Amino acid sequence: MTKLGIAIHGGAGTIRKSQMSLPKENNYREGLKEALLEGWKYLNENKSSVDAVERAVEVLENNSLFNAGRGSVFTNSGKHEMDASIMNGSNLDAGCVSNISNVKNPIRLARSIMDCSEFVYLNGRGAEEFARQMNLDFESDEYFFDKYRHEQYIDAIKENKVKLDHSGDPYSSETKLGTVGAVALDNKGNLAAATSTGGITNKKYERIGDSSIIGAGTYANNITCAVSCTGQGEFFIRTVAAYEVSALMEYRQLSLEEACNIVVNIKVKEIGGDGGLIAIDKDCNISLKFNTEGMYRAYISSNSDIYIGIYS
Protein backbone atom coordinates (compact mmCIF):
# COMPACT_ATOMS: atom_id res chain seq x y z
CA MET A 1 0.00 0.00 0.00
CA THR A 2 1.33 3.42 -0.97
CA LYS A 3 1.91 5.69 2.01
CA LEU A 4 1.37 9.44 1.85
CA GLY A 5 1.87 12.02 4.57
CA ILE A 6 2.28 15.72 5.15
CA ALA A 7 2.88 17.85 8.24
CA ILE A 8 3.03 21.63 8.58
CA HIS A 9 3.89 24.19 11.23
CA GLY A 10 3.19 27.89 11.69
CA GLY A 11 5.72 28.79 14.36
CA ALA A 12 6.44 27.97 18.00
CA GLY A 13 6.73 30.04 21.16
CA THR A 14 4.84 31.25 24.19
CA ILE A 15 1.36 30.41 22.95
CA ARG A 16 -1.11 30.23 25.82
CA LYS A 17 -4.80 29.38 25.57
CA SER A 18 -5.52 31.97 28.26
CA GLN A 19 -4.15 34.70 25.97
CA MET A 20 -5.92 33.54 22.81
CA SER A 21 -9.46 34.61 21.93
CA LEU A 22 -11.69 31.88 20.52
CA PRO A 23 -12.17 33.67 17.16
CA LYS A 24 -8.40 34.09 16.75
CA GLU A 25 -7.77 30.47 17.70
CA ASN A 26 -10.34 29.36 15.13
CA ASN A 27 -8.66 31.53 12.51
CA TYR A 28 -5.31 29.89 13.22
CA ARG A 29 -6.84 26.44 13.04
CA GLU A 30 -8.58 27.22 9.76
CA GLY A 31 -5.37 28.65 8.33
CA LEU A 32 -3.45 25.50 9.25
CA LYS A 33 -6.21 23.27 7.90
CA GLU A 34 -6.35 25.09 4.58
CA ALA A 35 -2.59 24.80 4.03
CA LEU A 36 -2.49 21.17 5.12
CA LEU A 37 -5.34 20.09 2.87
CA GLU A 38 -3.85 21.92 -0.11
CA GLY A 39 -0.62 19.98 0.30
CA TRP A 40 -2.56 16.75 0.90
CA LYS A 41 -4.57 17.31 -2.28
CA TYR A 42 -1.35 17.61 -4.24
CA LEU A 43 -0.11 14.29 -2.85
CA ASN A 44 -3.38 12.57 -3.72
CA GLU A 45 -3.13 13.95 -7.25
CA ASN A 46 0.19 12.08 -7.54
CA LYS A 47 2.20 15.26 -7.49
CA SER A 48 5.63 15.21 -5.88
CA SER A 49 6.43 15.83 -2.24
CA VAL A 50 8.35 18.92 -3.40
CA ASP A 51 5.19 20.25 -5.05
CA ALA A 52 3.17 19.49 -1.91
CA VAL A 53 5.45 21.24 0.57
CA GLU A 54 5.86 24.23 -1.73
CA ARG A 55 2.09 24.58 -2.06
CA ALA A 56 1.40 24.17 1.66
CA VAL A 57 3.98 26.81 2.56
CA GLU A 58 2.70 29.12 -0.17
CA VAL A 59 -0.78 29.03 1.41
CA LEU A 60 0.71 29.88 4.81
CA GLU A 61 2.73 32.73 3.25
CA ASN A 62 -0.52 34.17 1.89
CA ASN A 63 -2.11 34.19 5.36
CA SER A 64 -1.19 37.28 7.40
CA LEU A 65 -1.64 35.35 10.67
CA PHE A 66 1.71 33.65 10.11
CA ASN A 67 5.15 35.28 10.10
CA ALA A 68 6.08 34.54 6.50
CA GLY A 69 5.21 36.15 3.20
CA ARG A 70 2.28 38.51 3.70
CA GLY A 71 2.41 38.24 7.50
CA SER A 72 6.14 38.99 7.83
CA VAL A 73 7.27 41.12 10.75
CA PHE A 74 9.06 44.47 10.45
CA THR A 75 12.81 44.92 10.60
CA ASN A 76 14.50 47.75 12.52
CA SER A 77 14.30 49.93 9.40
CA GLY A 78 10.57 49.29 9.03
CA LYS A 79 10.98 46.93 6.07
CA HIS A 80 10.26 43.26 5.45
CA GLU A 81 13.16 40.88 4.86
CA MET A 82 12.10 37.31 4.14
CA ASP A 83 13.97 34.00 4.04
CA ALA A 84 12.99 30.57 2.69
CA SER A 85 14.39 27.21 1.65
CA ILE A 86 13.26 23.95 0.07
CA MET A 87 14.93 20.56 -0.29
CA ASN A 88 14.28 17.45 -2.37
CA GLY A 89 15.12 14.27 -0.47
CA SER A 90 15.41 12.13 -3.60
CA ASN A 91 18.56 13.83 -4.89
CA LEU A 92 19.50 16.38 -2.18
CA ASP A 93 18.76 19.30 -4.48
CA ALA A 94 17.97 22.50 -2.58
CA GLY A 95 17.15 26.15 -3.05
CA CYS A 96 17.58 28.92 -0.48
CA VAL A 97 16.91 32.64 -0.35
CA SER A 98 17.37 35.33 2.29
CA ASN A 99 16.79 39.03 2.92
CA ILE A 100 14.36 39.55 0.06
CA SER A 101 11.62 42.17 -0.06
CA ASN A 102 8.33 42.44 -1.98
CA VAL A 103 8.48 38.92 -3.43
CA LYS A 104 4.96 37.61 -2.81
CA ASN A 105 5.97 34.01 -2.14
CA PRO A 106 9.59 33.46 -1.07
CA ILE A 107 9.12 29.69 -1.19
CA ARG A 108 8.44 29.92 -4.93
CA LEU A 109 11.71 31.77 -5.36
CA ALA A 110 13.56 29.10 -3.36
CA ARG A 111 12.01 26.45 -5.63
CA SER A 112 13.03 28.40 -8.74
CA ILE A 113 16.60 28.64 -7.48
CA MET A 114 16.63 24.87 -6.96
CA ASP A 115 15.10 24.00 -10.32
CA CYS A 116 16.26 26.77 -12.65
CA SER A 117 19.75 27.81 -11.56
CA GLU A 118 23.14 26.27 -10.91
CA PHE A 119 23.11 27.74 -7.41
CA VAL A 120 21.72 26.74 -4.02
CA TYR A 121 21.59 30.05 -2.13
CA LEU A 122 20.83 33.60 -3.31
CA ASN A 123 20.56 36.70 -1.13
CA GLY A 124 19.00 40.14 -1.19
CA ARG A 125 18.89 42.25 -4.35
CA GLY A 126 20.51 39.55 -6.47
CA ALA A 127 17.82 37.08 -5.41
CA GLU A 128 15.14 39.64 -6.28
CA GLU A 129 16.70 40.12 -9.72
CA PHE A 130 16.54 36.37 -10.27
CA ALA A 131 12.88 36.37 -9.13
CA ARG A 132 12.09 38.94 -11.82
CA GLN A 133 13.81 36.79 -14.42
CA MET A 134 11.60 33.91 -13.29
CA ASN A 135 8.52 36.15 -13.64
CA LEU A 136 7.54 35.60 -10.02
CA ASP A 137 4.91 37.84 -8.44
CA PHE A 138 5.96 40.95 -6.55
CA GLU A 139 3.73 42.98 -4.21
CA SER A 140 3.86 46.52 -2.83
CA ASP A 141 4.83 47.38 0.74
CA GLU A 142 1.12 47.89 1.45
CA TYR A 143 0.42 44.22 0.71
CA PHE A 144 2.81 43.21 3.50
CA PHE A 145 1.53 45.78 6.01
CA ASP A 146 -0.30 44.27 8.99
CA LYS A 147 -1.55 46.44 11.85
CA TYR A 148 -0.72 43.91 14.55
CA ARG A 149 2.78 43.33 13.17
CA HIS A 150 3.32 47.09 13.03
CA GLU A 151 2.29 47.47 16.67
CA GLN A 152 4.82 44.75 17.57
CA TYR A 153 7.44 46.71 15.67
CA ILE A 154 6.66 50.02 17.42
CA ASP A 155 6.82 48.33 20.83
CA ALA A 156 10.09 46.61 19.95
CA ILE A 157 11.65 49.90 18.80
CA LYS A 158 10.63 51.59 22.05
CA GLU A 159 12.03 48.78 24.19
CA ASN A 160 15.04 48.00 21.95
CA LYS A 161 14.21 44.31 22.28
CA VAL A 162 16.41 42.77 19.62
CA LYS A 163 20.15 43.26 19.99
CA LEU A 164 23.10 41.65 18.26
CA ASP A 165 24.08 39.72 21.40
CA HIS A 166 20.45 38.70 22.03
CA SER A 167 20.49 40.20 25.51
CA GLY A 168 17.11 40.75 27.07
CA ASP A 169 14.10 38.90 25.68
CA PRO A 170 13.72 39.39 21.94
CA TYR A 171 11.23 36.52 21.79
CA SER A 172 8.44 37.63 24.11
CA SER A 173 4.92 36.20 24.01
CA GLU A 174 3.94 39.12 21.78
CA THR A 175 6.61 38.30 19.22
CA LYS A 176 6.36 34.52 19.02
CA LEU A 177 8.93 32.49 17.17
CA GLY A 178 7.24 32.74 13.82
CA THR A 179 8.18 30.58 10.86
CA VAL A 180 6.15 28.31 8.62
CA GLY A 181 7.14 24.98 7.16
CA ALA A 182 6.05 21.68 5.66
CA VAL A 183 7.39 18.15 5.22
CA ALA A 184 5.92 15.43 3.03
CA LEU A 185 6.22 11.88 1.69
CA ASP A 186 4.79 11.18 -1.79
CA ASN A 187 3.59 8.03 -3.53
CA LYS A 188 7.04 7.36 -4.98
CA GLY A 189 8.60 7.31 -1.53
CA ASN A 190 10.28 10.69 -1.98
CA LEU A 191 10.63 13.12 0.91
CA ALA A 192 10.75 16.92 0.83
CA ALA A 193 10.90 19.83 3.26
CA ALA A 194 10.26 23.57 2.99
CA THR A 195 10.54 26.48 5.41
CA SER A 196 9.74 30.20 5.15
CA THR A 197 9.96 33.11 7.57
CA GLY A 198 9.66 36.85 7.99
CA GLY A 199 12.43 36.80 10.59
CA ILE A 200 12.23 38.54 13.97
CA THR A 201 10.71 41.89 14.86
CA ASN A 202 13.17 44.80 14.93
CA LYS A 203 15.84 42.70 13.18
CA LYS A 204 19.09 44.55 12.48
CA TYR A 205 22.16 44.15 10.28
CA GLU A 206 20.41 41.90 7.71
CA ARG A 207 20.52 39.05 10.18
CA ILE A 208 19.83 35.59 8.76
CA GLY A 209 18.29 32.81 10.85
CA ASP A 210 18.07 29.08 10.30
CA SER A 211 15.05 29.00 7.97
CA SER A 212 17.05 29.54 4.79
CA ILE A 213 19.97 27.31 5.80
CA ILE A 214 20.02 23.71 4.63
CA GLY A 215 20.86 21.44 7.56
CA ALA A 216 19.88 24.00 10.17
CA GLY A 217 16.24 24.88 9.48
CA THR A 218 15.44 22.56 6.56
CA TYR A 219 16.64 19.12 5.51
CA ALA A 220 15.35 16.16 3.48
CA ASN A 221 16.95 12.85 2.58
CA ASN A 222 15.10 9.79 1.31
CA ILE A 223 17.38 7.57 3.37
CA THR A 224 15.98 8.99 6.60
CA CYS A 225 13.53 11.89 6.92
CA ALA A 226 12.43 15.41 6.06
CA VAL A 227 12.59 18.18 8.68
CA SER A 228 11.44 21.80 9.03
CA CYS A 229 12.36 23.80 12.13
CA THR A 230 11.00 26.85 13.92
CA GLY A 231 12.42 28.79 16.83
CA GLN A 232 15.41 30.85 17.88
CA GLY A 233 17.39 30.45 14.70
CA GLU A 234 20.84 31.01 16.16
CA PHE A 235 20.48 27.87 18.29
CA PHE A 236 19.20 25.75 15.41
CA ILE A 237 22.15 26.89 13.32
CA ARG A 238 24.63 26.07 16.08
CA THR A 239 23.23 22.56 16.53
CA VAL A 240 22.66 21.99 12.78
CA ALA A 241 19.28 20.83 14.04
CA ALA A 242 17.51 19.62 10.91
CA TYR A 243 20.46 17.56 9.67
CA GLU A 244 21.14 16.26 13.18
CA VAL A 245 17.76 14.50 13.17
CA SER A 246 18.72 12.73 9.96
CA ALA A 247 22.23 11.90 11.20
CA LEU A 248 20.93 10.37 14.43
CA MET A 249 18.65 8.14 12.39
CA GLU A 250 21.27 7.17 9.81
CA TYR A 251 24.31 6.65 12.00
CA ARG A 252 22.82 5.72 15.38
CA GLN A 253 19.81 3.90 13.97
CA LEU A 254 17.38 5.88 16.12
CA SER A 255 13.70 6.16 15.32
CA LEU A 256 12.30 9.45 14.03
CA GLU A 257 10.66 10.16 17.37
CA GLU A 258 13.83 9.44 19.34
CA ALA A 259 15.97 11.60 17.05
CA CYS A 260 13.56 14.55 17.13
CA ASN A 261 13.31 14.38 20.91
CA ILE A 262 17.09 14.44 21.34
CA VAL A 263 17.50 17.42 19.02
CA VAL A 264 14.68 19.56 20.43
CA ASN A 265 14.70 18.65 24.10
CA ILE A 266 18.42 18.01 24.63
CA LYS A 267 20.74 19.47 21.99
CA VAL A 268 18.88 22.73 21.30
CA LYS A 269 17.54 23.15 24.81
CA GLU A 270 20.81 22.55 26.66
CA ILE A 271 22.40 25.59 24.97
CA GLY A 272 19.38 27.75 25.76
CA GLY A 273 17.35 27.43 22.57
CA ASP A 274 13.57 27.46 22.27
CA GLY A 275 11.49 26.15 19.41
CA GLY A 276 10.45 23.01 17.67
CA LEU A 277 10.32 21.03 14.46
CA ILE A 278 8.15 18.81 12.31
CA ALA A 279 9.47 15.69 10.61
CA ILE A 280 8.36 12.73 8.53
CA ASP A 281 10.39 9.63 7.74
CA LYS A 282 10.53 7.26 4.77
CA ASP A 283 7.98 4.97 6.47
CA CYS A 284 5.48 7.83 6.93
CA ASN A 285 6.03 8.20 10.66
CA ILE A 286 5.45 11.80 11.75
CA SER A 287 6.92 13.68 14.71
CA LEU A 288 6.01 17.15 16.00
CA LYS A 289 8.42 18.17 18.75
CA PHE A 290 8.73 21.49 20.60
CA ASN A 291 10.09 22.73 23.92
CA THR A 292 7.94 25.87 24.10
CA GLU A 293 4.40 26.40 25.41
CA GLY A 294 2.95 25.86 21.98
CA MET A 295 3.52 25.31 18.28
CA TYR A 296 1.02 25.81 15.47
CA ARG A 297 1.03 22.41 13.81
CA ALA A 298 -1.01 19.95 11.77
CA TYR A 299 -0.64 16.69 9.87
CA ILE A 300 -2.50 14.08 7.89
CA SER A 301 -1.34 10.77 6.44
CA SER A 302 -2.43 7.44 5.06
CA ASN A 303 -2.07 6.19 8.62
CA SER A 304 -3.99 8.93 10.40
CA ASP A 305 -6.84 11.40 10.23
CA ILE A 306 -6.25 15.14 10.21
CA TYR A 307 -4.70 16.54 13.38
CA ILE A 308 -4.43 20.24 14.27
CA GLY A 309 -2.74 21.48 17.45
CA ILE A 310 -1.66 24.76 18.98
CA TYR A 311 -0.88 24.32 22.68
CA SER A 312 1.48 21.93 24.44
Q: Which sequence positions are flagged as catalytic?
A: 179
- 96-132 as b/e: b if 16+ CB within 10 A: bbbbbbbbbbbbbbbbbbbeeeeeebbbeeebbebbe
Pairing of strands 218-220, 225-231: antiparallel
Burial of residue 261 (CB within 10 Å: 0-12, 13-18, 19+) is middle
Separation between Cα atoms, residue 106 and residue 244, nearest integer Å: 25
Cβ atoms of 211 and 83 closer than 8 Å: yes
